[in-house]
Amino acid sequence: MTPPRPLSPIEEAASAWFVRRRERSSDAGAEQAFQAWLAESPRHRQEYERLARVWEDMACLPRPDAASARPPAPRRPAFLRWGGALAALVLVTGAAYQYLPVSYESVANASTQTRSLDMPDGTRVHANVGTRVSVRYTLAERRIDIDGGEVYIDAASDRRPLVVAAGGAELHDIGTEFNVLLLPDTLQVGVRSGQVMLDASGADGPKEHTLRAGDTVLLARAGGRLLARQQVAPGEVGAWQDGVAVVHDATLQQLAGYLALYREAPVRFADERARGLRLSGTLDLRHPEAFLDTLPGLLPVTLNRRPDGSAVIASR
């Protein structure tokens, strides 16, 4: 059995507020502070509401009958009967409850293989070539872990939050279609419709990014530094499903990392200048080798194909 991960700072804060509001429901000052905490981030409200739903579900579980010989005590409200001890217990139980498995799927695609998963809630997960992804649904959370490659997610509405983890960052869906591209050095996220909250944990600079239709961001995996933020036509997001990729001012190193998903052998560089050359346009992903062959006509570079299948790009 997979042990539950430690609670995040937001989960710990939500748990503390959950208990405090029920033990001191008449504390006006605390309620004002709670509302201010909710307003700080959409994730605060999302996590608090998730915990409240866990509590409601647990309240519906059957409880043992009282001993027949004992006269029934006057019935009191549930929280008075359960008391603060159970309110605290639900924080521990709720954390474990969140990780009880309901369904689990994993994908490891080869460089010529794509795959789509239709999840029980109606969410569709499209995994591109060379992609490694796992989808884990529990009683209180939907979680998608991307280990590498490209995934397009068409998220269905559900009472459970959807969390996508990729390259040390987390995406929190707010009802949307979005694309995640995780390469060795970078993480790129684009939104086709709806809204996504991107939390780049440990980021050098802004940590949270709210993305709407047409927004794309490119982050360095090391430190979560923001490299670029662009507005594109929403239809360009996830266009790889139609066999094309639209790039805007991308470096050859970024393009080489992307083409590595489609090739068994890597694309290498002979010098730093070649790595940094930039290109915009539409790539035909059905013929990645043809794109490599056209590079010397588009940029001041040479292409040398090696016997092992690798390709070496050098500036000229």
Q: Could you read off the pLDDT of 204-232 as tens digits, one per residue?
A: 666 788 999 999 999 998 888 889 999 99
The angle formed by the CA atoms of residues 163, 167 and 171, to the nearest 5 degrees, is: 25
The rounded distance, in Å, linking the Cα atoms of 168 and 165 is 7
Helix, strand and coil content of the chain, in percent to the nearest 5, comes to 30, 35, 30
pLDDT of the residue at 26 = 53
Residue 77 has pLDDT above 70, yes or no: no
Closest CA to 195 of 14, 53, 45, 42: 42
- For residue range 143-179, what is the model confidence (pLDDT) as tens digits? 999 999 999 999 998 878 899 999 989 998 777 899 9
- For residue range 244-271, what is the model confidence (pLDDT) as tens digits? 999 999 999 999 999 999 998 999 999 9
Residues 15 and 80 in one domain: yes
Residue 197 falls inside a structural domain? yes
Residues 180 and 205 in one domain: yes
pLDDT level of residue 57 (50, 70, 90 thresholds):
low
Residues 131 and 58 in one domain: no
pTM of the predicted model as reported, rounded to 2 decimal places: 0.71
Residues 209 and 309 in one domain: no
pLDDT level of residue 101 (50, 70, 90 thresholds):
low
Residue 91 falls inside a structural domain? yes
CA 268 to chain centre: 29
Q: Which residue has the tokens 């809204």?
A: 195
Which of the listed residues 219, 238, 257 is the one where a domain comes to its end? 238
Residue 2 falls inside a structural domain? no
> Which residues are CB-neighbours of 105 under 8 A, at least 6 positions away?
117, 119, 134, 135
Q: Which residue segment(s) compose the domain that 76 sits in?
A: 9-62+71-97
DSSP, res 236: G
Residue 4 falls inside a structural domain? no
pLDDT of the residue at 15 = 72
The rounded distance, in Å, linking the Cα atoms of 229 and 114 is 28
Residue 1 falls inside a structural domain? no
Pair 169, 224: CB distance under 8 Å: yes
